[in-house]
Amino acid sequence: MFSSTPLDARNKRIQNRVRILFGLMTVLLVLPVLLILGLLVYKGAPVISLEFLLTSPTEGMTAGGIMPALLGTIWLVSVALLVSVPVGVAAAIFLSEYARDNWVTRVINLAIINLAGVPSIVHALFGVGAFVLFFRFGTSILAASLTLGIMTLPVVIVSTREALQAVPHAFREACWAMGATRWQTIWRVVLPNAVSGILTGIILEVSRTAGETAPIMFTGAAFFLPYLPVSVYDQTMALSLHLFVISTQVPGVPEALPFGVALVLIALVLTMNATSIVFRTVLRRRRKW
Amino acid sequence: MNPARPSSPPPGAPPPDERPVVLSVRDLGVRYGDHVALRSVSFDIHQGEIFGIIGPANSGKTSLLRAINRMDEFVDGMSVSGTVELFGRDVRRVRNVYALRRRIGVVFPLPVGLPLTVYDNVAMAPRLAGVRDKATLDETVERCLRRAALWDEVKDRLDTLGSLLSGGQQQRLTIARALSQDPDILLLDEFSIAVDPVTTMRIEDVLRQLRDEMTIVLVTNLVQQARRLADRTAFLLMGECVEVVDTEQLFTGDVADERTRHYVEGRFG
């Protein structure tokens, strides 16, 4: 009664092959990550020290530390977040919770998708035109961060909107029926349950912002600066640009130095991600349905 | 089996027809774009009555409820014509729609325990209405949970998430939440489709106790449930109100329209 027919046997064979094939793909996916990290640690670890993190580059950037660049990247990412998170989250809330589905919102959505597809060098040129020249911010942290912020805005909007839409519609209806306004519903029920998803978008944004070179190259990041930035109107060094500079523009840099810089950059991003993930997990544990 | 009708009005009370009209529906129509969901429905619901609405799927029952508390605002493409009057006031012309909705408690088909604590679920409506005093909130939460026959099961875990209760408990939580609005009228939309028979009976008991204090509109796909609870029942079919009759007439066959008899006898729907 339960004996298998040739068709059953064939289906089972195919099923097994598919599983093995897709499993291999998954392993392939992890492999480059491990190789990159392994290489960076292997080649870069020797130069990493507290001194490396806390001193400025010396001898024409062929020696010394990376403190100004590290600090500069933190500056750029923070200011970019201050720009893109409020704007992006607010826009996503409007699009998801308030806007009706009509041609205007469809055009806006199309614009957001297109914004995500614009190459970063084009964002850089926009940043130069708009922030450096038109708004007269000069080459500064402000101009660079605004450029980065606009570049990452689509990521924040799309991920926030998805997080909001993952909250069941029935929750909203129940609140509205109780006489809650849209905002009361969003504030008391929708947002608390979407926070973890919104954070995921911000994590992605942080990683991308910290690593980008092109958008900051012409808008606020400096080749080398003998001083540290004290306000958003100053220029700054940045890890990503520093890595580019010492890898390609400066002769006589010891091989380990760029790898050290890259390792710090990756570690910075991973630390920020890890923090957000922990935060997210804690939030998610509190909310369940 | 013909159960005694516990829903019959208490002795001495005037018969439903002579009590004041709470909700008056006139020529109500609902469309979603080109699709007509409800056309030209009219009836009056009297104070303290349980008004049943029966009908097969897609007969416009939910659209009717949405038109009453103006939830069409949240449904793209939904448009309402005709009038709904609550205590003589056209709900379409009420400026403060939030105050209007607070007068109307709603229970949805699927239990919706909001992902807040049990306490916060029930305290939400009073808080939205501006109540801040802890003692008042405590009192409201306990009273509403007791009335919804849920207090004994949750009194020791008011701080667990409402969304983690069982389906039957969540549906009673929903009722407690609706009661916390202190509504004049309670709309129930097929409240029993996702709960077990025991819970259904408990909720029906709750409704019988509530009928003296508020007017109840009971949309149900269970003809027998309408029979157990409703004083009068409207039969909706494909967006039309076929007729409104005293519920008992449905079962004595004393109805004007053949379609009603067929539906009640289970020949379709």
Q: State the CATH number of the domain containing residue B37.
A: 3.40.50.300
- Find the mean pLDDT for residues A27-32: 92
Largest CA distance in chain B: 56
Which residues in chain A touch residue B112, judged by CB atoms under 8 angstroms apart?
170-171, 173-174
CA distances from residue A168 to A113, A189, B247 in whole angstroms, order as listed: 24, 10, 36
Across the interface, whether the CB atoms of A179 and B128 are under 8 A apart is answered: yes
Distance from CA of B258 to the nearest CA of A (A): 36
ipTM: 0.87
Is residue B229 situated within a structural domain?
yes
Is residue B243 situated within a structural domain?
yes
Among residues B52, B63, B67, B36, the alpha carbon closest in space to that of B243 is found at: B52
Which residues in chain B touch residue A170, judged by CB atoms under 8 angstroms apart?
108, 110, 112
Across the interface, whether the CB atoms of B76 and A172 are under 8 A apart is answered: no
Summarize pLDDT for B246-259 with one digit per residue, the tens: 998 888 878 888 88
Among residues B206, B212, B243, the alpha carbon closest in space to that of B228 is found at: B206
Burial class (CB in 10 A: 0-12, 13-18, 19+), B262: middle
Across the interface, whether the CB atoms of A173 and B74 are under 8 A apart is answered: yes
Q: Which of A178, A185, A187, A284 to probe the B interface (max B CBs under 10 A)?
A: A178
Neighbours of A59 (CB within 10 A): 9
Which residues in chain A touch residue B63, judged by CB atoms under 8 angstroms apart?
none
Q: How far apart are CA A146 and CA A128, in angstroms?
A: 11
Is residue B133 situated within a structural domain?
no
Q: Between the CA atoms of A273, A259, A217 and A121, what dihedral angle is there, to the nearest 10 degrees?
A: -70
Chain A residues 84-143 within an 8 A CB cutoff of chain B: 100-101
Is residue B69 situated within a structural domain?
yes
Which residues in chain B touch residue A101, judged by CB atoms under 8 angstroms apart?
76
User: First vs last Cα of chain B: how many Å apart?
Assistant: 22
Is residue B43 situated within a structural domain?
yes
Across the interface, whether the CB atoms of B124 and A178 are under 8 A apart is answered: yes
User: What does the block give as tokens for A150?
Assistant: 């606009």
Q: Tally the domains of chain B.
A: 1
Is residue B166 situated within a structural domain?
no
Is residue B139 situated within a structural domain?
no
CATH number of A50-286: 1.10.3720.10
Chain A residues 170-189 within an 8 A CB cutoff of chain B: 170-181, 184, 188-189
Per-residue pLDDT in tens (0 to 9) along chain B, 269 residues: 444 444 444 555 556 567 889 999 999 999 998 999 999 999 999 998 999 999 988 889 999 999 999 998 888 889 999 999 999 999 999 999 999 999 999 999 998 888 889 999 999 999 998 899 999 999 999 999 999 999 999 999 999 888 889 999 999 999 999 999 999 999 999 999 888 999 999 999 999 999 888 999 999 988 889 999 999 999 999 999 999 989 988 888 788 888 888 888 887 64
- The region that residue A13 occupies, defined by phi over 0 for left and psi between -120 and 50 for alpha, beta otherwise, is alpha
- The range of the structural domain enclosing residue B264 comes to 19-48+59-103+183-190+214-269
Query: What's the pLDDT at B17?
Result: 64
H or E segment and range at residue A19: helix A6-44
**In chain A, which residue's Cα lies nearest the Cα of B76?**
A100
Is residue B175 situated within a structural domain?
no
Q: Which of B79, B108, B110, B112 to probe the A interface (max A CBs under 10 A)?
A: B112
Between CA B96 and CA A183, with CA B126 as vertex, the angle to 5 degrees is 55
